[in-house]
Structure 1
Amino acid sequence: MRYKKFGKTGLEVSQICLGTWGIGGAGWDTHSDEERMDAIKAALDCGINFIDTAPAYNAGKAEQYIGETLHHLGARKDVVIATKCGNKYVDGKYIRCGSESLIRRQCEESLKNLQTDYIDLYLVHWPDPNVSMAETIGTVAQLKKEGKILHAGVSNFTKEQIEEASKYCEIEAYQPQYSMLDGDNEETIRWAADRGMGVMTYGTLGGGILTGDYREIRTFGETDNRNRFYPYFREPLFSKVMELLKVMDAIAAERNVPLAQIAVNWTLQQEFISSCITGAQSRRKVEENCAGLNWNLMDEEIICLNKAIKCYRQ
């Protein structure tokens, strides 16, 4: 595993952060409780010391898996936990909730679920257009003063929203979507990194399509996140992704590596990224993703990939 300073926080985090949206279980493939908790253990075994979660990941279920696993292993103090507020999961729907009362309640529930008395990094999951930034971020600032959270950040905010949030609390981390398939946030990412924020990006594997496991269009359920959130699994993007996969296939064949490792490598070789979030629900997938840090893409491979990415994004 490789580690990197996380902006100005003073934290040193693994360059792969374990994402637990899938581990929570809602809107993804079905795995047993044992498999999900073993995936968390596998991450620690591979040297990952950074875990991302949220109460919105199946109404706190992902947090509970993390809390139980870290408690069983006695590993809480060895792990930087990032969890969130401002978004809740109710009856298969995600609802933004940035009020002071709801954020305080979510914080207490997260502390209980995670079996801890502090949260290393607390992120506002999504801005709530119906609640003032002063109320939402001001509540996070107060939680920091109380010692319930150590560092504050935001996810899915625009540059302008981050600037406004910074009026009420120091924003130390930024979590946007970013991958070979989605570069919309790159300008804001660079801006945030230049200002000393730790940058942890999500969607590294494009919801799984960059693993190469999806070569034909499939029909997913209405609440499946490959249908609800990621647009790559249907046209017009699906065919364009398949063209990009052909370039990845050639590199994978030459190196004898899985495609997921190429996607991870490409992301982490962007100097402005501190850590990339990679979701996995099994030990095998976690180990496979982490093994991608045993090698680097060569300059000519990056040039080839970037050319294909440019074609995809046109």
Structure 2
Amino acid sequence: MEYTEFGKTQLRVSRMCLGTWGIGGAGWDSYSDESRMDAIKAAVDCGINFIDTAPAYNGGRAEQYIGEVVHKLGVRKEVVLATKCGNEFINGKYVRCGAADKIMRECEESLRNLKTDYIDVYLVHWPDPNVPMEETMDALNTLKKQGKILHIGVSNFTKEQMEEAEKYCAIEAYQPQYSMVDRKWEQLIRWACAQKMGVMTYGTLGGGILTGKYRELKEYGVDDNRNRFYPYFKEPLFSKVMLLLRTMDQISEERNVPLSQIALNWTLQRPFISSCIIGAQSRDKIEENCKVFEWKLSDDEMQLLEQALKKTII
């Protein structure tokens, strides 16, 4: 495992962060409770000290899994916990609300779920255009003064929204989507890094499309996140990603490594990213992903991938 300073927070985090949207169990493949909790334990065993979650991940279920495992292992002081506010999962739907009273309530619920009395990094999950930014940020300032959260961040914000938020409080962390097949926020990520924000990117494997597991176009359920959130599982992007996978297959065969490690390796070599978020619901996938730190893509391989991206995705 590799570690780095997380922006200006003075937190030292693993460069791989465990993502728990899938572990929450809504909109992804079905795994047992035991498998999901063992995946969290496997992450800790592999040296991951950074865990990302949210109350919106199946109504707090992901937070509860994390709280149970971290408490049972007795590693709370060694683990950096990031969770979110302003987005709830209600009756199978994601509902945004940045109102102060909702944020205060969400924080208390997250603290109970996580079995902790403080949250290391607290992020606004999505901006709420119906609530003044000042109200949302003032609520976070209050929670920080109370010692319930240590560092404030945002996810899925534009530059203009971050600059507006910073009128009311210091933003120390930024969480955007970023991967080989989604680089639309790269300039903003570079800007955030230059502002000394800790940058933690999600969607590193493109919802799983970059693992090579999905080679045939198929239909997914209405609530499945591969149908609802990630666009790569439909045309025209599906065929474009399949062309990219051919180049990744070539490197995979020469290196004898899985495609997931190639996608992870590519992201980890971006100097403006502190930690990349990887979701997995089983121990074997966690352990496989962590082996990415045993090797690096060469300059020639990086160039080969860039050429393939220009022909297909970019």
TM-score norm. by structure 2 comes to: 0.99
AA at the equivalent of 2:276: C
> What is the correspondence of 1:227-242 to structure 2 with a 5 Å cutoff?
227-242=227-242
Distance, in Å, in 2 between the alignment partners of 1:178 and 1:137 is: 25
Q: Say whether residues 1:44 and 2:44 are aligned partners.
A: yes
Q: Following TM superposition, by how much is the alpha carbon of 1:219 offset from its aligned partner in structure 2, in angstroms? A: 1.2
Task: Spell out, residue by residue over 1:63-102, the C-alpha distance to the aligned partner (whole angstroms, 9 max, x if none).
Answer: 0000000111111111000000000001111010100010
Q: Following TM superposition, by how much is the alpha carbon of 1:309 offset from its aligned partner in structure 2, in angstroms? A: 1.3
Distance, in Å, in 2 between the alignment partners of 1:45 and 1:218 is: 36
Q: Size of the alignment, in residue pairs?
A: 314
| Structure 2 contact 241–313 (Cα < 8 Å) conserved | no
Distance, in Å, in 2 between the alignment partners of 1:139 and 1:44 is: 32
AA at the equivalent of 1:292: V
| Structure 2 contact 7–193 (Cα < 8 Å) conserved | yes
Aligned to 2:95: 95
Q: Secondary structure at the match of 2:17?
A: strand
Q: Following TM superposition, by how much is the alpha carbon of 1:313 offset from its aligned partner in structure 2, in angstroms? A: 2.6
Distance, in Å, in 1 between the alignment partners of 2:288 and 2:248 is: 16
Task: Spell out, residue by residue over 1:99-147, the C-alpha distance to the aligned partner (whole angstroms, 9 max, x if none).
Answer: 0010000000000000000000000000001000000111111111110
Aligned to 1:252: 252
RMSD value over aligned CA atoms? 0.6
Aligned to 1:17: 17
Q: Following TM superposition, by how much is the alpha carbon of 1:307 offset from its aligned partner in structure 2, in angstroms? A: 1.1
AA at the equivalent of 1:131: V
Distance, in Å, in 1 between the alignment partners of 2:187 and 2:138 is: 26
| Structure 1 contact 9–151 (Cα < 8 Å) conserved | yes
Aligned to 2:145: 145
Q: Following TM superposition, by how much is the alpha carbon of 1:218 offset from its aligned partner in structure 2, in angstroms? A: 1.7
| Structure 1 contact 251–301 (Cα < 8 Å) conserved | yes
| Structure 1 contact 220–226 (Cα < 8 Å) conserved | yes
Aligned to 1:120: 120
AA at the equivalent of 2:180: M
Aligned to 2:75: 75
Aligned to 1:158: 158
Q: Secondary structure at the match of 2:64?
A: helix
Distance, in Å, in 2 between the alignment partners of 1:73 and 1:263 is: 31
Aligned to 1:167: 167
| Structure 2 contact 98–128 (Cα < 8 Å) conserved | yes
Aligned to 1:29: 29
Q: Secondary structure at the match of 1:18?
A: strand
Q: Secondary structure at the match of 1:152?
A: strand
Q: Following TM superposition, by how much is the alpha carbon of 1:312 offset from its aligned partner in structure 2, in angstroms? A: 2.3
> What is the correspondence of 1:267-282 to structure 2 with a 5 Å cutoff?
267-282=267-282
Distance, in Å, in 2 between the alignment partners of 1:202 and 1:39 is: 18
Q: Following TM superposition, by how much is the alpha carbon of 1:26 offset from its aligned partner in structure 2, in angstroms? A: 0.1
Distance, in Å, in 2 between the alignment partners of 1:293 and 1:106 is: 36
Distance, in Å, in 2 between the alignment partners of 1:298 and 1:141 is: 44
Sequence identity, in percent? 70
Aligned to 1:215: 215
AA at the equivalent of 2:223: T
Q: Secondary structure at the match of 1:248?
A: helix
Distance, in Å, in 1 between the alignment partners of 2:223 and 2:132 is: 29
Q: Following TM superposition, by how much is the alpha carbon of 1:172 offset from its aligned partner in structure 2, in angstroms? A: 0.1
| Structure 1 contact 125–156 (Cα < 8 Å) conserved | yes
AA at the equivalent of 2:122: Y
TM-score norm. by structure 1 comes to: 0.99
Aligned to 2:310: 310
| Structure 2 contact 89–95 (Cα < 8 Å) conserved | yes
Q: Which runs of 5+ in 2 are unaligned?
A: none
Distance, in Å, in 1 between the alignment partners of 2:6 and 2:291 is: 22
Distance, in Å, in 1 between the alignment partners of 2:145 and 2:188 is: 28
